[in-house]
Structure 1
Amino acid sequence: MTSAIRHTRIAVLSDTHGLLRPEVIAKIQGVDHILHAGDVGNADFLDQLSAIAPVTAIRGNIDVHSPCADLPATEMVEIAGVTFYLVHSVADLDISPTAAGVRVVISGHSHKPGHDTRNGVLYLNPGSVGPRRFKLPIAMAFVMISEGNITVEPIEFDA
């Protein structure tokens, strides 16, 4: 008897800045977990996201006067055997990911989507799904974990 391979799909968001787009909600249906890398802007969004999947969220530099101010500045979470570290600005990274056993560092702040691997650690900025900033895309990402392998699927929305 062959057992099915378990695939874990994680939605990675950042910089909603008080705008939770309906197309984002539609896109993330069915995910296993949601990671939000700060600048939430409206704590009610976290309840909406929690209705879809478990949420791990941190505060960003705008989350200072609302219930979002109570979110942690950083967070480490293990999902499907992979350790993630969330920090709003990668410039504020306060650990050695390699020494801490972190495989994926999630950040936001710049609104500029991108990912690369350094010293065996994946660094992912999903971009911003909030209000458009400059000419940067409205963007998020999915991280897929399958048998310990990690892949990233960047997503851009027309605005």
Structure 2
Amino acid sequence: MKMLIVSDNHGWDSILTDLKRRYKGKVDAMIHCGDSEMTAEDPAVDGYTIVRGNCDSEDQFPNDLLESVEDCRVFVTHGHRYNIKMTLTNLAMKAKETGADFVFFGHSHTAGAEMADGVLYLNPGSISLPRGRREKTYAIVDVKKSKIAVRFFDERHHEVEALSCTFSR
């Protein structure tokens, strides 16, 4: 199973369209972690499982989502309501409460992934306004029976190898 995770495009609609074109039929889910600054009717967000970020005014986007993708439980949030810039503790409590296998979030614009207590926490970074690195990033999570590969890519779809990692499942 493969999932595309993107966040914080802040109105840059053509990158979302480009990602859909590139990955249609190649991933099982396209997830947006908020701050799209778009409406639910915008064609660029069509096909994405999307949550509301602190810069979004669209009230049709939920604050949080718990989705099943194949045999995995995926919790998606923007992160601002969980104070993710200070700690992942609140997200860890939510992951335990919901039984999530994966927690995807944005908000900090900082790309990274870590495994804790069997849960993968992933921030794809910002596809438009990165912090901590110069690359504008999104992520592809490839889940196999015994491993999870996380690959980060820039807006030109070149892998950012320094961020990519693999975890045992």
Matched residues, number: 146
Deviations 1:76-98 (A, max 9, x none): 00101111111111526464313
Question: TM-score with structure 1 length normalisation?
Answer: 0.77
Name the residue aligned to 1:70: 60
Out of 42, 53, 60, the position equivalent to 2:53 is 60
Answer yes or no: is the 8 Å Cα contact 2:106–2:124 preserved in 1.
yes
Give the ranges of 4+ consecutive aligned residues of structure 1 lying more than 6 Å apart after TM superposition.
Answer: none
Answer yes or no: is the 8 Å Cα contact 2:4–2:30 preserved in 1.
yes
Deviations 1:134-157 (A, max 9, x none): 854200001112337432111123
Answer yes or no: is the 8 Å Cα contact 2:40–2:60 preserved in 1.
no
Following TM superposition, by how much is the alpha carbon of 1:131 offset from its aligned partner in structure 2, in angstroms? 4.3
Following TM superposition, by how much is the alpha carbon of 1:122 offset from its aligned partner in structure 2, in angstroms? 0.6
Structure 2 runs not aligned, ≥5 long? 85-89, 157-169
Structure 1 runs not aligned, ≥5 long? 1-7
Distance 1:144-1:45 versus aligned 2 partners, 3 A rule: farther
Name the residue aligned to 2:7: 14
Aligned amino acid, residue 42 of structure 1: M
Pair 1:33-2:23 in alignment = no
The structure showing larger relative contact order (alpha-carbon pairs under 8 Å, at least 6 residues apart) is 1
Distance 1:45-1:116 versus aligned 2 partners, 3 A rule: farther
Task: State the secondary structure of the residue aligned to 1:69.
Answer: coil
Following TM superposition, by how much is the alpha carbon of 1:110 offset from its aligned partner in structure 2, in angstroms? 0.9
Aligned amino acid, residue 40 of structure 1: S
Identity of aligned residues (%): 26
Deviations 1:101-141 (A, max 9, x none): 10111000111110001111110000111245685420000
Partner Cα separation in structure 2 for residue 134 and residue 151 of structure 1: 22
RMSD of Structure 2 on Structure 1 (CA): 2.7
Aligned amino acid, residue 72 of structure 1: P
